[in-house]
Structure 1
Amino acid sequence: MQTVIIIIHLLIVLSLVGVVLLQRSEGGIGMGAGGGGGGGGPGGFMTGRGSASALTRATAILAAAFFATSLTLAILAGQASQPTSVFDAPGGLTAPPAQPGEEAPDGAGPGILEQLQRQQGDEPDSPQVPQSR
């Protein structure tokens, strides 16, 4: 889905660049100023006012489509990367407890909650953890 919208977005971008480059500049020398391509005679494809309004309308439509595809891509990107919580992970913040008779791996001691409970004496039969100061 996202790939299709990106391709449509790129086609809109290329079309928008082309339409903007076809427009006549306000400052003087535009695409039609030299070589007789712009204001042509009555037999020209598009005359002054008709081409300006058609190109302006096409620019507005392409700009709206560009905005819509940009917004859609931003929403899809936001949904694809939902933030995760450490509380949702199996095991939470602590490592799984060691089984009786099995040594705990290095660095996998009791979690913070167990250490705080031991310091306050909530578990009378558990060994006290020495405090480092």
Structure 2
Amino acid sequence: MAEQMGRRGRRVRNEINMVPFIDVMLVLLIIFMVSAPLMPTGVVDLPSVGKAQQPPQQVIELVVEDEARVRVRVNQRDVDTYAIEALAEQVRLLQAQAEGGPAQSPVIISARKDLRYDTVIQVMDRLQRAGVARVGLSVRTTGA
């Protein structure tokens, strides 16, 4: 009878013992706290921007109005509105008329923020195929 009571008094408890888990976590915490100041910090070499000697004589800005029309501005004055198909030739003519020569006239492309970016890429592609040099994108949006 004593053997039966001994079996009933000992029950198997299905619990996770948290003490070893906490001990391991504390040891890892101490290791990371000690080793963190010893790790070398990453150094990022950022490119520097040089300043131009003098601003260009003529800046051509292309404002993409919609999927078919582009407004051309020279030195912040509107010149005309062209279809995308005829744009590259007009830009080359404007660059050829510049005082500093075609290579000195930068072309900046601006677009409304609600316009599909594919249209801007099409304008850039047409300019590149026509051999227009110094093409950049504007970082500000025009219109709403």
Give TM-score, length-normalised by structure 1. Answer: 0.25
Give the helix-richer structure, 1 or 2.
Answer: 1
Give the strand-richer structure, 1 or 2.
Answer: 2
